[in-house]
Amino acid sequence: MSEVILEIDAVVKRFGDNEVLRGISLNLHRHEVVCLIGASGSGKSTLLRCVNLLETIDGGTITLFGQSLTDVRIDPDKVRRHTGMVFQSFNLFPHLSVLENVLVGPVRALKRKRSDVIDEALQLLERIGLRNRADEYPDRLSGGQQQRVAIVRSLAMRPALLLLDEVTSALDPSLVGEVLDLLRDLAHTGTTMLIATHEMNFARDVAQKVAYLDGGILVEQGTPEEIFSNPQHESTRLFLERVR
Amino acid sequence: MVDDTDITLSDETPSFFAPRRKQFLLGRRAVVASVVSTTLIIGGLVAAFYLAPGGAIVRHDFFNPHDMWESLVGNRHKSLNSVGLGLLINIRVFLIAEVFILTFGLTLAWTRMTKSPVLMPFRILAVIYSDIFRGIPVLLVFLLIGYGVPGLQLGFISNQSPEVYSCVALILTYSAYVAEVFRAGIFSVPHGQILAARSLGLTNATTMRRVILPQAVRTVVPPLLNDFISLQKDTALLSVLGVIEAVQAGTIFQDAKFNSSGLVVASILFLVMTIPLTRVTDGLIARDRNRRLASS
């Protein structure tokens, strides 16, 4: 297997008295897709946010490309430029057109010239079949379209890995498919992804590794086969029965 | 789960007709009712004004066309200042103060919200500032600046005209309010927008400039215009420092001719100045409301 790019080691995160992550350890290799499953509130989203430094951890270490993210000399903005994040609620910028949404990262964060990036941006939109909507504003698009634009907005930064936080949970059931198809497509082309999801079939299809979280503890991790067909822990088994 | 409680759905056929007394004001009767009530109220007010024991005197003292005209244009021979020309000073002060208030207000808001450790003392100062200037009556700020600063004998700073001190007093006071409006606008942008921007690797400052402020502007404009309407009116306070603006000109006229028509003229001029802005503001609020209703 290829190199490990992300090492999460015994990570602890507290919000006041509430311990949300209680010593989570997990590795991610290049070109690997890892799915985090578990009930709402189990810590999946928080873990993703910690990797992106949207939250700071209270214990343990997160090492990205050999650099500890808890080091005070780390510039969070630089970390985020290499770790794309997609949210449950899309969070497209409503005052910018679809194209501008895709351009804003490369132009404003990477300081690349607009004219250099514009073709790439249009190609990305082409890939999700929304090139003809480039000049429209996000509120004119369906939820599924908005979420695909949000994914492409992250991709435009050419990140080393993509963090996806329940990206289909806010969508109409009829729109979930198009977003998952895009993620499958990305997985096949070797995009490294850490995905928090409630879509078990999707996780089974695309993930090389599935990790089950419960109450801030990583109960077990393994191949989709191991987790879905032969879970070792009682709580994993109960969870899978409930969502089935 | 079924249990044995007695609560079941009703079998009765409900009636949806309004009671008699409510039916009375429906259809054409509604129009009649509104016309009658409007006539009564407005007519009553006009009648009170005309029939009041001192009505005739007040009409002569406040609404005398000849005096109103004379106070509007002024009369050099009787050394009566023109209320109309006075208003130009109000407008000038308003326009100048407005620019400074917007810049200073935004700076204050930004200072209060930054997290830079170097700016810590400024953050504290900004909080104290907004407490002080939202707490002291504008009139007192005028008096303290207008009489206090010249007393300091600080050369250039203490040698300014009352108009300049007035401007400063307005800027100091209104910046505190406007800063709060900006802050509220910035806080109104959903947190997810900030997360999305930061997760793209945009810096704090770029996020503010490219993502938060453009969205905050929309919510900020109506309350900002409200503050400006109020600012337009508060330029009348220039009179306490002896600036001969509209109100002061009206007062001079009143003192000279024992007639208050100049004050009414000043009121009308202020209305002419503020009503367009008031209408625009209400229009914007309505538009914003419609848009929000449409999108939900």
Question: B195 — contact with chain A (CB < 8 Å)?
Answer: yes
pLDDT per residue, tens digit, chain A (244 aa), is 689 999 999 999 999 999 999 999 999 999 999 999 999 999 999 999 999 999 999 999 999 999 999 999 999 999 999 999 999 999 999 999 999 999 999 999 999 999 999 999 999 999 999 999 999 999 999 999 999 999 999 999 999 999 999 999 999 999 999 999 999 999 999 999 999 999 999 999 999 999 999 999 999 999 999 999 999 999 999 999 998 7
| Percent of chain A scoring above 90 in pLDDT | 98
Tell me the chain A residues in contact with residue B202 when contact means C-beta distances shorter than 8 Å: 77, 104-105, 108-109
Q: What is the DSSP letter of A108?
A: I
Reported pTM: 0.79
Report the C-alpha gap between A47 and A44 in whole angstroms: 5
- Closest-CA distance of chain B to residue A51, Å: 11
Give the tens place of pLDDT for each residue, A92-126.
999 999 999 999 999 999 999 999 999 999 999 99
Q: Do B200 and A89 count as a contact with CB atoms less than 8 A apart?
A: no
CB B162 within 8 A of CB B241: yes
Amino acid sitting at position B180: E
Q: Tally the residues of chain A.
A: 244
Check A87 against B211: CB less than 8 A apart: no
Alpha helices in A133-223 (DSSP H): 143-155, 173-188, 200-206
Distance between CA B165 and CA A84 in Å, rounded?
53
- Give me the pLDDT at residue B3, please: 60
Q: Do B202 and A77 touch (CB under 8 A)?
A: yes
A95 and B215 within 8 Å at the Cβ level: the answer is yes
| The 3-state secondary structure of A50-87, one letter per residue | HHCCCCCCCEEEEEECCEECCCCCCCHHHHHHHEEEEC
- Pairing verdict, β A193-196 and A33-37: parallel
Q: Which residues of chain B neighbour A81 with C-beta distances below 8 Å?
A: 200-201
Residue pLDDT, tens place only, B110-159? 899 888 889 899 999 999 999 999 999 999 999 999 999 998 888 888 88
Chain-centroid distance of CA B24 in Å reads 41
Neighbour tally for A171: CB within 10 Å? 20
Chain B residues within 8 A of A139 when measuring between CB atoms: 295
Domain boundaries, chain B: 70-295
Size of interface A-B (CB pairs under 8 A): 64
- Percent above pLDDT 70 for chain B: 97
Sequence spans of domains, chain A: 4-243
User: For residues B113 and B115, what is the distance between their CA atoms, to the nearest angstrom?
Assistant: 7
- Angle at which helix B261-295 crosses helix B55-62, to 10 degrees, equals 90
Contact B196/A at CB under 8 A: yes
Using a CB–CB cutoff of 8 Å, tell me whether B215 touches chain A: yes
* Per-residue pLDDT, B30: 86
> What is the CATH code of the structural domain delimited by B70-295?
1.10.3720.10
For residues B27-46, give the mean pLDDT.
92
Residue B203 contacts A, CB cutoff 8 Å? yes
- Sheet containing A217-222: order of strands: A83-86, A161-165, A193-196, A33-37, A209-214, A217-222
Asked if B205 reaches chain A (Cβ–Cβ under 8 Å), the answer is no
Token duo for residue B41 = 């109220």
> Mind listing the pLDDT tens digit for each residue in A119-133?
999 999 999 999 999
Smallest Cα–Cα separation from A195: which of A218, A162, A219?
Answer: A162
Cross-chain Cβ contact A85/B214 below 8 Å: no
CATH class name, domain A4-243: alpha beta
Candidate from B196, B201, B215 with C-beta closest to A81: B201
